A and B are shown apart, each in its own frame.
Chain A
Amino acid sequence: MRRRWMSAVAVTVAGLLSLTACGGGGDGKSAGDGQAAKKQVEVFSWWTGPGEADGLKAMREIFEKRNPGLTFFDAAVAGGSGDKARALLSSKLQANQPPDTFQGHAGAELQGYIKAGKLEPLNALYDELKLKEVFPQQLVDQITYKGNVYSVPVNIHRSNVLWFNPKVLKDAGVAAPPKTIEEFITALEAVKRTKKIPLSIGSEWTVVHLLESVLLGSLGTDAYNALWTPGADWSAPALTKALGDFKTILSYAGPAQDDWQPASKQVADGAAAFNVMGDWAYGYFHNPPDGGLGKKSKEDFDWVASPGTDGTFMWLSDSFTLPKGAPNRDGALAWLKVAASKEGQDAFNPKKGSIPARKDADKALYTDYLEWDLAQWANGKLAGSIQHGVVANDAWKTAITEAVGLFLQSKDVAKLQQALVQAAQTNNQ
């Protein structure tokens, strides 16, 4: 009797184990087979946070109004910079089970997928919607890979912004925010004498973020953009000087904070004078508490282009793509049309706190910082961000991050440059 009972348990356990082991194979879409009449479009992103998720929802409403025959399936995966989403995405692409469309940073970050032949070129869509006329020419150039465009940028963020505290600057006797790297160093020195933190920094990635702004400011826009063309000379003396500037500027940095928010907060609180961060810092400074700091712009905090980069917009962008073999290709194209449209971008961006990639956007929707930002976008030169995946592909970016991390300990400029040369040789093709 007891033995029979035991074998029953054994069989049940075996069954359960094999169920749990193999049950994960089915993909989420088979569940939607019931509503075959309304075709589903799977949109994969990492927009789950406040602001960004609201923006996505606004675009979704437009999409569903325009396409009554299609259902929007939100396949968002949580996690700030998309680490987890991208890990899942590459395994899906490798298994040739792509979502219908996915979010990615426009530019070199998509190169791995493009080289492996996982993405469809979108030239036809660009021609159909005349997108080359409404996006800045330089943007189209910088996201073109071997003559083809593979993504539709929905929004634009700016990376080269110098945030500062006007009161701290005034106390230190700095009359105007610095315009060049030399002025920046003088201002940092002046703040240092008042015992405040001259420059606040966060974790390692914020230092890479600082590096890209210093490189752009020290080298100038054309020389900076040339670094990312095949065969670029990373051992040039101009770069040595730029890295020397970087070292000098970094020597004024306060103790590293946990992430970018506490570092920005030091500026808002008047503990530090300067911080170089992307324009998402504006939302953090400006939004009411729980989410933001509720500070007054131009009074508690202020901004200029980071030193030496006035007139140049260092951009990064979220974009959508069309994977090869998308189960619902037409649905994906319908989504891309919404993402590219003026209506879609104007619905998304004010909520997310970024500006549209289109030059013809409704300017009235963008106020205060975003107004300045939009004007600079329409009229400035462009440069791509390193940290945010525009100019360097993932492997190259990781190598640069590693070099900067090691530099933070050694403070050895020659070694940093050597590592950067090495990284460029391995990855710049």
Chain B
Amino acid sequence: MSFSLKDANIEKEIFVKRAALVSFFVFVMLLVLAGRMLFLQVSEYELYAGKSEKNRVQIEPVPPIRGLIFDRNGVLLAENLPSHSLTVVPERVENLDYSLKLVDQLVGLSERELENFEKRIDQWRRPYEAITLKHQLSEEEIARLMVNSNFLPGIQVEAELVRHYPQGKYFAHVLGYVGHMNERDKQRLDSAQYKATKRVGKIGIERYYEDQLHGQVGLQKVETNAQGRILNVLEREDPVPGKNLILNLDVNLQKVAMDAFEGRRGSLVAMDPKTGGVLAMVSTPSFDPNLFVNGISYKKYNALRDDLDTPLFDRATRGQYPPGSTMKPFLGLAFLEAGVTDWQETIADPGWYMLENDPRVYRDWKRSGHGEAIDLRDAIIQSCDTYYYEMAFRTGIDRLQPFLEKFGFGQRTSVDVQNELSALLPTRDWKRHHRGRSWYAGDTLNLALGQGFMLTTPLQLAQATSVYAAKGKWHRSKLVYSVDGNVLEETEKPEDVIITDPANWDRMNRAMEGVITHYLGTARNLESRLSYRVASKTGTAQVVGIDQDAEYDSEALEERQRDHALYMAFAPVEDPKIAVAVIVENGESAGRTAAPIAIKVMDEYLLNQPKRPESLGIVGASDGR
């Protein structure tokens, strides 16, 4: 047996030697571990202490509260309502399909919500940024979600303040709306200030005054765990809320104006000639801006977009229409300034006008003509075209165009309207450049009727009317009265319109009063209703060109091809407090469709206003609600 050959002592010696050696190695390895710890905890302490702090403490942006918007009486037009929404951080969700299915079972998800969510998930966003899945949760829905929160990693109920427009469609185009920030917004805006902000102004005042309404982002140092859950707020620098705006607009006036359209397409702009403050600005049909705040569904958006009545289109600032005969008071002054006529001169109107070397017959709207002796006053009251052909021909484009320009035609004039269009006041250069032809005398005649190339926006027409009512004194149109209690300063404005004989203002006003009061006036049907003096002018603008010899038959034309009805007015004449421009698309008769709308608005402003607790400056806008 090999057992007996073994030497127990030698074997024990071998083991003891090896054990001693192993002890040495164990000692060395312990030193290695201790050395490693020494390296990490002493040499690299600063590095890892920093890393650990960065892990632990995160700077979180806190969104500021968006400024409120009030009308001139202190009525809220845009507010922030608390709302609970369901948010998803896709990075933290293990199985998105499963989670969505579970959420659907708990609170129900509409097609629109899923659609919006899919849309948002595809868009650019910050990593770990929460995406809203469902807005405006009810108490019961919140409870159901809370109970099941363990099964829904990465899905949270978040409280936030959401913009709400209590006046709905009445201020949709003026105020605009806020919507989710997209990539273009992000490039446009200060990324530091907008770190926590979800929605920004997209159009209208919300967009134009974005800087003021937004406020300043706050910061909080928070302790988070590895899942990013906030455990502790260590430090906090509160956000500065956005500034409150008080508008010049009047909620009652706006409602009266919009309702007066009775569903017709059109626009009305009313201004205070003494300040330029916009009292009402309406574009109909309108839409509910609240739809856009939480993201509108494709279906609803397409319905709005494809609606033939184009409710999304802001006619007041972007609708461009030939001004028609509403130009006549401005042109009349231009003739007087040019000295081509006076208040006494009369001309005969056979119902048409012809230029030398031009075979074209320029017709008056009244085929039988306005009589043998038409003076400037008659030409305004009856809107005599022939008179204007003659005088425009005498004056010429080179004197007409600069004079009209002084009233703001062909220019952007407002202080704070987002995306206002400048419309068009044609010149010789313009025609050569854009039409490739030189200016003909016939073009001047067309201009004299506010037709041809000339285009105005309702806002522009209201602006010109306002300057006119103030006898040439300029106040640029502005929507906002004050920002956080500070009244908007009137900055550089166009030069006032100065005419050689100031008495011509009053003479022209009297003529314009005749539009309603004279038995031949184009808006005489309104006379019985007036309890104050109104100076005004009607206008119609052709939508389609009519053959010279064709009989104008409105019944035969499609409704959408009928003439637009326009009206400009201001009152009271002795001390103008309101200037209005109205257009009713395809409204045909300005006296029957456009003028009554303007009168309703002026009635509301001039007759009902004293009953309201008047307001500007009294409203404690900075106190919020």
Do A and B originate from a single complex? no
A contact residues vs B (CB 8 Å cutoff): none
B contact residues vs A (CB 8 Å cutoff): none
